Structure 1
């Protein structure tokens, strides 16, 4: 074997010695001898095999050492074990593992003996005093965190924890050390994420109980069964005293509510979900959290039940839905329900006028709406373009871009009370003269004064443009001040007006205009989308033609996350109130549990409708619009988890059919629930003249779009009794102008521990990074299946890391599991569009649909977005593409040490710009 560069090996005692390749050869040889006997010692086969394996291990370790300069002895032994397994020498590998385990056990026994003889570590308590570490209590805490969970054990956590202790450690660092120790094991066994969450709960209980009861106090999970009822009223009083909670909540029968709390539900969290709540949602003063999880859910429920007749009964009903994770309200509702400023709405849509005072009024409105966690969608199409005449100054306009820059900087400045950055999306119709400059807004080159790096952007595309692209025809760009009527037109009316304006431009009657080849503009739109992720592609005509509220106005844009399609005007800022059903919780081996889903939807719709009346409105246009139309957006999450439960690969006809049937059920129950609320509370004020009032439900409005286009290639099948419901809607009315919208659920799905929205699996093993730290995410369903087939081991973990969370290239994984657990970049994105199209026929608004492309090409990109339009989708969201480089193929253990928010207050931003503002 060639001589290798010398590098350091970190021993278990902390010492460093020189790397000796010969020791690897000796260790492997001993392992072979242990299996094949001493007679094999002279075997040429054994000698050659060991030499080949050893050389591979040395090469791999040397390459890693070039960057790390030193390796831990455990890393070297891991590499030897992996080489034996990958080489197919499973019996030898097992012997090696058993040898390592026996040595580890001996070391632990020696360490225990040494600890019994060594001085006890001292722990610094809150009063500053040093007290001996209570090893018994520490072991009991870890044991309780592991109780009832499969395939986890306290010993490896305690071993890792003790490695990080030192004399004089304070209580906060001690609790953090336990959490961190459990986190390092998540990649080996997903249930350790629940162990980590339970250890975080212990930390939170110490923090919250000590604050509420004004003295150092803690409690075990078992003790909380009785203590929650005592804690809850004291917590409410403390929150009101601190000015964080509406005093009206103290007028509830708090004893009744306290008895309804379900302390055992604290144990259902995964670490990412609980850490997210800890960092961003729980009430705190001076960085000290004093709101426990079940109190949090009850506070939200009380805030939503404030105006109910039997407030306590409704609060308990709402609490049960939230705390069970069957449904989760959107982030603004969770942030602010029950507080002194209950801004509970998720999304706001505005249209910006073509006047200086109106433009800056719109920017001010953005700031006020963003202050309390609202996500913004601005329609900028009316603002005149570059070179247009300004009558007041007899000058020429600088176009829309300088004002977009102001809006971008405003979003950054207003950080939603320190919880996360403001987030806004600017929309522009494709015929606007400034469309080229709009396309460049997110580029990293060029004049920074004409760039908006923090603002999302989206196209508002009329059908006529897509038809011109298909025909390879011309496309004329205008300044809106010269063609103002086109802003409010869609469908055949837009086509007639646009062609008339083209004729005027050709005759010289329009000053600012320019003609381009439609295909060239379309290709540039797709190119910039691929290069910068923006502007997104959304479609004006289906949003308007299928809008239930076409009689009351025009949809000029979507929202920040492209799922809301509501009317806007100078007098009305559209508002939507969101929440999502956890589809995974409503699916069993036999499919959808319709009785449970119907109950969930009915309760959720009541909660969402309550938001409208309780809401704190920061500008009058939002209040006026919300009370007149009362729109809500009931969505879903956990779709991928539901597919896993049903054993349906996402790239299959069966999955597309499930998208159809599940959304039909959700649609039916949501419309039924709004109709029932209308019978109890009255119709929304602008009901007359709506599609609802004419007996046209979302499934019926598909035909309006089909007629305008001259046909629509979309499955129209249905299973429910829509005729009966249609008649009831016409007779009784609807409480809400709009009832459905599928938002991204970027954060609330983390809270519930399910996949986001309608998203396919991103990877089966990866590290998720956000402002709360880095989190190892493992597909638990996959791990269960691999365990059942005897395939879950250290080699599988290593292979998943190496292949970026994909099973596709791991030979020993059966094909059925590869299909079931295919990740987003492994499937043909057309399957996502087909499933979305089948959902869209049931939805009165839209859905946040991300598209994925592993190996992009102009032709494939064009085909995907044309398919989205042809299938009648209203909007699309991000285009996700793979980076040019792969992630580092090292262990994930090292990344899980980056927790930066446990125990400290920190400003939070979006996990993914745009997504989280809605949910």
Structure 2
């Protein structure tokens, strides 16, 4: 019953064999190829699979006529399944070992319920393996059995000794991994004439396939990938042809100055980096930090971040971090010491700068800022000027938030032409197409979010911009939208009252008003409509419009729901302007006007890295380490403002005046796991409160101390800071304006805020705004922790990238299951079957089911409660995704009302599973032993929900 693609009984490795014409044709790109046990390569063909499966059936059932039809149909179906598996894994072609094909045949038989056939097939394979082992001599360990084709076309024997050393080195210090197993499996994929690159690929793919059984193989895979990176970069720089990780203690210091000179010569990095003490900085590099990477993190850096020349990466991980550190330290007086300080923070994974900073620090055009917020004026010249600003900002990797509320609505009078306006929507179509056209230097498509206030005449059509039906000329499929909601609208919803829509050219002051002032003016305009003094308006039921907002949000994922009044009433900068919108990811709340494009610079504390074991053996937050991290992080963020490249003058004007930064966090879920705290618990809400309080306290202190050294920002006088009103105090301002009946926010605190208030009033603040929690999807991948404040999406899922599919598994779950003797192959299969959920696996204890509940298993109230506790400490906002299982209109209504009632400033994506979609169906979908191809995009749902910020769809990467 052996598959006929392998008729040889000779075991690998063997002396090199001459290639047949069939073998030569098999090497064409885009084709699937089969590696036989003798190392030769042949084309993959369906017919040989069919023959093998047919033989298996005939051996068990015989060849009678009654069975013939069933066998034929079943064999065809199983053959298609096996072939489809390999084509999905390797859509651009590749090599498969004969054993992998037989494994898939065996698996297909079992999944189809053909257990007798599968059993016979397994026994036959075992017998043939024993026969081959008995007849084949064991080769010498160092015997070169395969010839390797080098880049220059020459050939040399495969260096098995080095291969073994690299694999052993990759497994060094790790538990429950086997270097021998990796080596043996990788050798099955090698063949005569294999290239040097394919050898590393074989090692990486082999180790990567083992991750689902043992999470530490993710570290092994990353270390094996490093071998490729070292060879690529060190060879290009002329430092060494190849190197082991142990060699990097010698080679990293040598490589740094060569890299700097080469990068300057190629016009890839700034000549200013030459002015550093490169010997001292080289000596400060820490090769051991390379071992922190998991595979996904290192592959992400390689694919997207490392500087390259003609697709050859010339950076290595520690050189990459040092380049970023040098780029952020180049204006410091003691820049060498600061560069080392910044490098130590980045390379430790205690803190990570946002993607634009990682991309561009130290380069010739250091566009380091993440987010830009603009207000679009109500005139044609201003509108197209704003669209041009969008293009220029997008070109250099900025994420955009546009306030479109000032632009007059459909049917409004245009004095200059004596005509009527077409409203906001046609211009938004132009914005959408501009975002597509200006694709951020080819790195990703442009990303923009349009904001509109709920009283705008065009709000109903605005809500439908992302629909897949209707006039496509009035649809924007490639941009995001957000509803900028005043408190008065929410009060009318609660009271089941009426709501009036206006064109902003008739009510121009509403745009700049909030709180009680807005309410008074808005009701005044409503009275004018009743007296006939305002002709262009529309009256609707507030509850009906609210239902439409929620309906569109569920159907299209837009508009995001954001709240105007808390953003303004709690803004430290209300003395010099108004917050008219948030940004691309809803965490930035800064003033905008025709002369100022708000800019924010982001970075995130890795909360998981600050959880330590206390004296009593229980995990706790290390406040001393957190304070040290934040002090350096805030300095790095402040430096961005002076170093940054500004593509439009309004952005530089705003940033130099106010100097806002946005320090956030990631790894919140990891921090809970380390403390064994379930996300759905009062303890988690309390930890959200206390951890954010500490971050807020140390961030404000760091900015104030920086002001003592460098001076306060220009518009400090008159700010809430200057009056001793800190973010926790501004909650009272919101309560007073909104009314206590419409808000409930915990106001407890534990730290010495009185002394900090006095410090801020005395020393000032270096930055108008200090905190904002961004999505962090990509930088969280780099550091190997959970995104931002997100709950775990799945405990086990399959991720896809350019190199194929690989499994991502929750290491904390594996840790706890191992501790209880529950981690085995059956558990892996159960997790696959239940798509990463532990709730239906009977063997798992209830406490672990609570701890490892996934995003849709966490009631949304816990997400909102934790967000409310964080929001009271934040001077800006947070990117809050809401996950709702069994979604219905009522459930959405309750959740978003609760978000407003709890004092949140903004919300982000809605992740909704309809009630009809929560039951798992594996038979019809063929999803047994299979999980979604990427998280969190592929869950079953009644309505399409757009993908979150992720490596696969990084619309929001500017915020990461």
Show the counterpart of 1:193.
218
CA drift of 1:212 comes to 0.8
Instruction: Give the distance between the partners of 2:851 and 2:835, measured in 1 at CA.
Output: 17
- Say which is worse superposed, 579-588 or 186-195, in terms of deviation: 186-195
Instruction: Give the distance between the partners of 1:370 and 1:69, measured in 2 at CA.
Output: 42
Instruction: Give the distance between the partners of 1:894 and 1:465, measured in 2 at CA.
Output: 39
**SS across alignment from 1:427:** strand
**SS across alignment from 2:545:** helix
Q: Work out which of the residue numbers 767, 770, 791 in structure 2 matches 1:760.
A: 791
- Structure 1 residues 721-776: Cα deviation after superposition (integer angstroms, max 9, x where no partner): 00000011111111000000000001000010000000000000012345675442
Q: Does 2:176 match 1:176?
A: no
Indicate how the Cα distance of structure 1 residues 550 and 218 shifts in structure 2: closer, same or farther if over 3 A, else same. same
Show the counterpart of 1:614.
643
Show the counterpart of 2:557.
533
Instruction: Give the distance between the partners of 1:829 and 1:12, measured in 2 at CA.
Output: 58
- Structure 1 residues 301-323: Cα deviation after superposition (integer angstroms, max 9, x where no partner): 01111111111000000000000
Instruction: Give the distance between the partners of 1:570 and 1:894, measured in 2 at CA.
Output: 45
Instruction: Give the distance between the partners of 2:476 and 2:464, measured in 1 at CA.
Output: 9
Instruction: Give the distance between the partners of 2:828 and 2:7, measured in 1 at CA.
Output: 24
Q: Does 2:628 match 1:599?
A: yes
- Structure 1 residues 407-442: Cα deviation after superposition (integer angstroms, max 9, x where no partner): 111111111112111111010001111111111111
Instruction: Give the distance between the partners of 1:847 and 1:449, measured in 2 at CA.
Output: 33
Indicate how the Cα distance of structure 1 residues 530 and 191 shifts in structure 2: closer, same or farther if over 3 A, else same. same
Show the counterpart of 2:657.
628
**Number of residue equivalences:** 865
Show the counterpart of 1:784.
815
Instruction: Determine if contact 1:347/1:575 at 8 Å carries over to the other structure.
Output: yes
Show the counterpart of 2:262.
238
Structure 1: state its 5+ residue gaps.
Answer: 1-5, 27-57, 87-92, 897-907
Q: Does 2:701 match 1:672?
A: yes
Instruction: Give the distance between the partners of 2:852 and 2:445, measured in 1 at CA.
Output: 34
Instruction: Determine if contact 1:8/1:19 at 8 Å carries over to the other structure.
Output: no
Instruction: Give the distance between the partners of 2:903 and 2:827, measured in 1 at CA.
Output: 42
- Mapping 1:399-798, distance limit 5 Å: 399-589=423-613, 590-711=619-740, 712-769=743-800, 774-798=805-829
Show the counterpart of 2:309.
285
- Mapping 1:14-25, distance limit 5 Å: 16=49, 17-19=52-54
- Say which is worse superposed, 368-377 or 124-133, in terms of deviation: 124-133
Show the counterpart of 1:342.
366
Show the counterpart of 1:145.
170
- Structure 1 residues 492-522: Cα deviation after superposition (integer angstroms, max 9, x where no partner): 0111111111111222222321111110110
- Structure 1 residues 566-591: Cα deviation after superposition (integer angstroms, max 9, x where no partner): 00000000000100000000012331
Instruction: Give the distance between the partners of 2:252 and 2:361, measured in 1 at CA.
Output: 21
CA drift of 1:393 comes to 1.3
Instruction: Determine if contact 2:357/2:368 at 8 Å carries over to the other structure.
Output: yes
Instruction: Give the distance between the partners of 1:895 and 1:123, measured in 2 at CA.
Output: 34
Q: Does 2:301 match 1:272?
A: no
Indicate how the Cα distance of structure 1 residues 822 and 62 shifts in structure 2: closer, same or farther if over 3 A, else same. farther
Instruction: Give the distance between the partners of 1:466 and 1:641, measured in 2 at CA.
Output: 35
Indicate how the Cα distance of structure 1 residues 81 and 226 shifts in structure 2: closer, same or farther if over 3 A, else same. farther
Instruction: Give the distance between the partners of 2:398 and 2:496, measured in 1 at CA.
Output: 41
- Structure 1 residues 642-677: Cα deviation after superposition (integer angstroms, max 9, x where no partner): 000000000000000000000000000000100100
**SS across alignment from 1:552:** coil
Q: Work out which of the residue numbers 241, 252, 255 in structure 2 matches 1:217.
A: 241
**SS across alignment from 1:422:** coil
Instruction: Determine if contact 1:24/1:80 at 8 Å carries over to the other structure.
Output: no
Indicate how the Cα distance of structure 1 residues 704 and 11 shifts in structure 2: closer, same or farther if over 3 A, else same. farther
Instruction: Give the distance between the partners of 1:110 and 1:503, measured in 2 at CA.
Output: 98
Instruction: Give the distance between the partners of 1:350 and 1:771, measured in 2 at CA.
Output: 36
Show the counterpart of 1:889.
927
Indicate how the Cα distance of structure 1 residues 133 and 772 shifts in structure 2: closer, same or farther if over 3 A, else same. closer
Instruction: Give the distance between the partners of 2:927 and 2:506, measured in 1 at CA.
Output: 57
Instruction: Give the distance between the partners of 1:154 and 1:445, measured in 2 at CA.
Output: 55
Instruction: Determine if contact 1:184/1:893 at 8 Å carries over to the other structure.
Output: no
**SS across alignment from 1:730:** helix
CA drift of 1:397 comes to 1.1
CA drift of 1:912 comes to 3.7
Instruction: Determine if contact 1:848/1:876 at 8 Å carries over to the other structure.
Output: yes
RMSD: 3.1
Instruction: Give the distance between the partners of 1:562 and 1:507, measured in 2 at CA.
Output: 39
CA drift of 1:103 comes to 8.2
Show the counterpart of 2:146.
121
Show the counterpart of 1:38.
none
Instruction: Give the distance between the partners of 1:203 and 1:270, measured in 2 at CA.
Output: 15
CA drift of 1:777 comes to 1.1
Show the counterpart of 2:957.
916
Indicate how the Cα distance of structure 1 residues 8 and 772 shifts in structure 2: closer, same or farther if over 3 A, else same. closer
**SS across alignment from 2:383:** helix
Instruction: Give the distance between the partners of 2:338 and 2:803, measured in 1 at CA.
Output: 33
Instruction: Give the distance between the partners of 1:10 and 1:506, measured in 2 at CA.
Output: 84
CA drift of 1:162 comes to 2.6
Indicate how the Cα distance of structure 1 residues 243 and 541 shifts in structure 2: closer, same or farther if over 3 A, else same. same
Indicate how the Cα distance of structure 1 residues 864 and 801 shifts in structure 2: closer, same or farther if over 3 A, else same. same
- Say which is worse superposed, 609-618 or 8-17, in terms of deviation: 8-17
Instruction: Determine if contact 2:3/2:102 at 8 Å carries over to the other structure.
Output: no
Instruction: Give the distance between the partners of 1:780 and 1:799, measured in 2 at CA.
Output: 16
- Mapping 1:794-809, distance limit 5 Å: 794-809=825-840
Indicate how the Cα distance of structure 1 residues 245 and 853 shifts in structure 2: closer, same or farther if over 3 A, else same. same
Instruction: Determine if contact 2:106/2:122 at 8 Å carries over to the other structure.
Output: no
Structure 2: state its 5+ residue gaps.
Answer: 9-35, 37-47, 62-71, 86-100, 614-618, 935-948
Show the counterpart of 1:867.
898
**SS across alignment from 2:855:** coil
Instruction: Give the distance between the partners of 1:131 and 1:893, measured in 2 at CA.
Output: 42
Instruction: Give the distance between the partners of 1:495 and 1:555, measured in 2 at CA.
Output: 17
- Structure 1 residues 168-191: Cα deviation after superposition (integer angstroms, max 9, x where no partner): 222222222221121111111111
CA drift of 1:909 comes to 9.1
Indicate how the Cα distance of structure 1 residues 334 and 119 shifts in structure 2: closer, same or farther if over 3 A, else same. closer
Indicate how the Cα distance of structure 1 residues 237 and 462 shifts in structure 2: closer, same or farther if over 3 A, else same. same
TM-score by length of 2: 0.85
Instruction: Determine if contact 1:368/1:619 at 8 Å carries over to the other structure.
Output: yes
Indicate how the Cα distance of structure 1 residues 696 and 267 shifts in structure 2: closer, same or farther if over 3 A, else same. same
Show the counterpart of 1:321.
345
CA drift of 1:113 comes to 3.6
Indicate how the Cα distance of structure 1 residues 81 and 511 shifts in structure 2: closer, same or farther if over 3 A, else same. same
Instruction: Determine if contact 1:9/1:73 at 8 Å carries over to the other structure.
Output: no
Instruction: Give the distance between the partners of 1:422 and 1:561, measured in 2 at CA.
Output: 14
- Say which is worse superposed, 109-118 or 445-454, in terms of deviation: 109-118
Indicate how the Cα distance of structure 1 residues 719 and 102 shifts in structure 2: closer, same or farther if over 3 A, else same. farther
Instruction: Determine if contact 1:490/1:541 at 8 Å carries over to the other structure.
Output: yes
Which has the higher relative contact order, 1 or 2, with Cα contacts under 8 A spaced 6 or more apart?
A: 1
Indicate how the Cα distance of structure 1 residues 267 and 70 shifts in structure 2: closer, same or farther if over 3 A, else same. closer
CA drift of 1:73 comes to 3.8
Instruction: Determine if contact 2:835/2:931 at 8 Å carries over to the other structure.
Output: no
Instruction: Determine if contact 1:7/1:69 at 8 Å carries over to the other structure.
Output: no
Indicate how the Cα distance of structure 1 residues 83 and 649 shifts in structure 2: closer, same or farther if over 3 A, else same. farther
